[in-house]
Amino acid sequence: MPAQTPSPPVTAPPPSNGATRLPPAAQAPRRGRMHTRISGLRTGLIVGVAVLVVVLIFIIQNTHAVNISFLGAHLRLSLAVALLLAAIAGALLMAAAGTARITQLRLALRRTRRRHPAAPAPPGR
């Protein structure tokens, strides 16, 4: 009988469901784009400039004047300015409602933390 050389053990490939994964340090680095605060700011500025251009086009195309009456005040403004002021007023009302709700939730969280203080973390963590 010829002598056989030991062959390396055969291992099955890892399951495709992601059950076995390498630790984070051993994983290959991602090749995608990094999202940073500066990139978010840049994207926000680009979107803001685009919105500003659209608003300016809207104002330039709607220059005819309209009569506005509100709580006894009578104004004559261009239609675009009147709609812009209405949109700003609506945004301010939504911001006020959102701020009130966030304040309410923070107060409730603070009350809950006072009643049920968190257990201290075990040493070594």
What are 45-93's pLDDT values in tens digits?
Answer: 999 899 889 888 888 888 888 888 888 888 898 888 888 888 889 999 9
pLDDT in tens, 93-119: 999 999 999 999 999 999 988 888 776
Q: How far apart are the first and last CA of the chain?
A: 61
- 14 has a pLDDT exceeding 60: no
Residue 28, pLDDT > 60, answer no
Q: Report pLDDT for 101.
A: 94
Task: Give the pairing of strands 65-70 and 73-78.
Answer: antiparallel
Q: What is the pTM of this model?
A: 0.48
